[in-house]
Structure 1
Amino acid sequence: MIKFYHNPRCSKSRQGLDLLENTGKDFEVIKYLEESPSKEELQKIIGYLGIAPEALVRKNEAIWKEKFRGKSLSDEEILNALVQYPKLIERPIVINGNKAVIGRPVENINKII
């Protein structure tokens, strides 16, 4: 089943949800700010995306700027920051099987559904 990591307050995330709803396919919505992904789950998502953990970080978020910007962080430290502050996770993320995309632009979602 398709998984959609969603932040209802994000316009791109809402657009991605609309796109998925219009496909008629079954999918699960995970409101990741309410149900924060575990470190292991994030590692799996990053593997599906084929990116480094730092590429999943929203670097314009105030939390990142205040606590982490300019620091040399290991992948482990970045993962810990994402678990502690899920607002830092880029969104939306769509997973289908063992493939995933970040829905920015929203059209990226079409690549895996």
Structure 2
Amino acid sequence: MAMTYYGYPKCGTCRKAKKWLENAGLEFEDINIAENPPTKEQLKEMIANSGLDIKKFFNVSGMKYRDLNLKDKLPEMTDDEKMSLLATDGMLMKRPIVTDGSKVTVGFKEDEYQEVWGA
């Protein structure tokens, strides 16, 4: 399956990750996470494939996260409610998210990218 990169063009971390993928010679579909966030079903699959807790998919340093007071609300929400919330707004998601349908990375750490996406 082809790789999909969900990023935000104005995000410096996203630009670094995208450049890393390009320099590695990897082909990927580039999706603006703010305009086209993953659907709830896509998120469900990504979260399962990532092996990460759903909390790792939230952009905890983002304005939307703070504006919605999610720090206090998330512990009371079910995972299903969290996925529904994430699917409504790509700016709530930690980015970039890269997936090939079986592997998933969230955020950008060069050593992790080398391990997961390196040739």
The TM-score, its normalising length taken from structure 1, stands at 0.88
Residue 46 (structure 2) aligns with: 45
Would you say 1:88 and 2:89 are equivalent positions? Answer: no
Structure 1 residue ranges, 4+ long, deviating more than 4 angstroms after superposition:
none
Deviation of 1:101 after TM superposition, in Å, equals: 1.1
Give the SS at the match of 2:67. helix
> Matched residues in 2 for 1:27 and 1:7: separation?
15
> Matched residues in 2 for 1:74 and 1:4: separation?
27
Deviation of 1:103 after TM superposition, in Å, equals: 3.3
CA-to-aligned-CA distance 1:82-107 (integer Å, 9 cap, x gap): 11221011111111340111233243
The TM-score, its normalising length taken from structure 2, stands at 0.85
> Matched residues in 2 for 1:21 and 1:87: separation?
23
Q: Which has the higher helix share?
A: 2
Residue 107 (structure 2) aligns with: 103
Deviation of 1:69 after TM superposition, in Å, equals: 2.4
Moved more, 83-92 or 57-66: 57-66
Would you say 1:29 and 2:24 are equivalent positions? Answer: no
Identical counterparts, % of pairs: 27
Deviation of 1:52 after TM superposition, in Å, equals: 2.1
Unaligned runs of 5+ in 2: none
Residue 18 (structure 1) aligns with: 19
Residue 71 (structure 2) aligns with: 69
Moved more, 49-58 or 95-104: 95-104
Corresponding pairs, count = 113
